[in-house]
Amino acid sequence: MAEAGKVKPSCPEACTCIFQPVLVDKLDHGDDNAPARVYPSDDLHQRYRITTDIRPLNHLSLRTDSNGRFVYYPQSVVRDLPPTSDVTSKQYQSSAIDQLRRTDINHCNFWCRLDLVDAFGCARIHPTLMTKIATTSVDPITGKEH
């Protein structure tokens, strides 16, 4: 596809990734038996954790947008898009995370962790990618996104 002028290689620094923070209720196991959520809560730090779910980064799919440009979409968005088999079948890598994994380990010495008390998981972020990653939150009272 590169020879045909349809795509060009890009470096990890050129990728923009925006992930929403996720508030996890550790007592809610999906069986409708969790205690009621009240605010203010005395067990706030024991019951909840906040994390950034970057799993979509592992499941990006190369598609074309309405202008014919190639764009990586998360799988949740791709499910709603018509398939472009000529693009996806010739995709040279399984996901964009492969580009990050090929980055020299000597250049990957910064760890970013969003943690209240015992949040799980960390993601090693290349320093040049720090300006490309952002999070958003929603004010529960006004509904305004920050």
Within a domain: 20: yes
Within a domain: 139: no
Within a domain: 55: yes
Within a domain: 29: yes
* Domain of residue 85, residue span: 12-133
Within a domain: 112: yes
Within a domain: 2: no
Cβ(25)–Cβ(37) under 8 Å?
yes
- Residue 134's DSSP bridge partners are 18
For 8-37, the pLDDT digits (tens) are 766 666 666 667 777 788 887 777 777 777
For 32-62, the pLDDT digits (tens) are 777 777 777 777 778 788 887 777 666 677 7
Buried b (16+ CB within 10 A) or exposed e, 109-120: eeeeebeeeebe
Q: How many domains does the chain have?
A: 1
Q: What angle do CA 14, 17, 18 make, to 5 degrees?
A: 145
Within a domain: 43: yes
Within a domain: 5: no
